[in-house]
Amino acid sequence: MDNEPSWDTTYVSIMLVVFIVVAGLAIDIGYMYVSEEDLLATAENSALAGAEALKHRVLAQAQQAPDQLTAATGDLVQASARNAVVETVSGKNKASALMEVANANTNALTADNDITVGNYNQTGRTYTPGAAPVNAVQVRTKRTAESASVGLGTLGSFLAKATGTESFGSTPVAVAALPIGTRSNLAFCEKACEPACSWPKICNVAERHMTPAWPDASAPQGNDRYLFTSLLRPVGITNTISDLVCQESPQQEVCGSPIYVAAGSGTAQDILRDIKAKMYDPKADSGNKEYDRNGKLVGWWMVAPVTDCTAAKAGDIFEPRTVTRYALVRVSRICVSGPAGCGAQATQSVSPAAACHPGEQGLYIDRISCVGCAEKEKVLFPGLHPVLVGQ
């Protein structure tokens, strides 16, 4: 028994070493794939965060010092946007793979710079870094020096060499922009756009009570009228206005184009309930809502198409009307009685900063600025929804 050969022990030892190496290689390659997905997702999320910061700067500038808006959008550093990018990547870094972005405040992707700002041409669908007016952010993410060896230090470097890949240097790039457009189901009447409230000036108006446009040409038209719109899509049995309001519709560029509008006299209250549900849903269009210190909703920013409302047909008949302008408005509150729209539950709603009093019905706004479809100022008009675009 004592004289039996020990080859079985040696064999087991050898196989154990082989097993460890193979397992290490499997972990190593698995890390590579997860990390590349992580890198791309982080590039996209951080670019969107940077574009969101650009939007907030434009809105703040237009309210505080509109005469300096051109200078603000001509700033080729955009520190707040770059900081948002770095903070987003750092937050992801702590939670998952080790990633980094370098920021040298320049607008070329180099060894020491992974962030650029520039202009996205919506017509040509091209991004030009370092061009004004700035409406887009480009981000490149990469592994840190520690994670470049596929996450396993010396073993990772050895395995990379053994497999013929000295470094898994994936560096995905993403661009997020603020294209001009709307996804509002409210179309404001032309008289709502007063000359004194032309972009880039945002008028802080006494809360204005808005109501659906009168459905006949003889009725007076003031600055407080609107129509409901399905934008470019006609309303039908399988495509109701309620469906369009309650779902997350994509942004559409409609300036200068015909859209479908209706006074909605028969279903105005139902449509308004749906819009109200979206306004007080904390998850819906959250990046365009403002809250006070107590967490109550102060207002909801939206870009709405503007059209001629004269001779609007009575009832719920949707007809084409050409969009002549865009209106940037802040809806301060919506007052309408009855059941919650969009199937919303009370637990899904936030509280308004200004409550509706008994008898109040309708839509209220307290900020407005308009720009014509052919006006040169339109190039500085902010898109409210950052989207990923091609480079």
115-174 tens-digit pLDDT: 999 999 999 999 999 999 999 999 999 887 555 444 444 555 555 555 444 445 678 999
Asked whether 127 and 118 are in contact (CB, 8 A), the reply is yes
SS3 173: strand
Please state, in angstroms and rounded to a whole number, the distance separating the CA atoms of residues 297 and 350. Answer: 7
Tell me: pLDDT of 22 over 70.
no
- At 74-96, the pLDDT tens digits run 999 999 999 999 999 987 544 44
pLDDT value of position 345:
58
Q: What is the mean pLDDT of residues 233-246?
A: 86
pLDDT value of position 36:
79
pLDDT value of position 90:
85
Tell me: pLDDT of 386 over 90.
yes
- At 167-205, the pLDDT tens digits run 456 789 999 999 999 999 999 999 999 999 999 999 999
For the chain, the average pLDDT equals 84
How far, CA to CA in Å, does 325 sit from each of 224, 254, 375?
Answer: 16, 9, 9
pLDDT value of position 169:
64
pLDDT top residue among 34 and 60: 60
Q: Which residues contact 148 (CB under 8 A, 6 or more apart)?
A: 142, 167, 168, 169
Share of the chain above pLDDT 90, in %: 59
Tell me: pLDDT of 383 over 60.
yes
pLDDT top residue among 234 and 158: 234
Lowest mean pLDDT among 84-93, 282-291, 365-374: 84-93
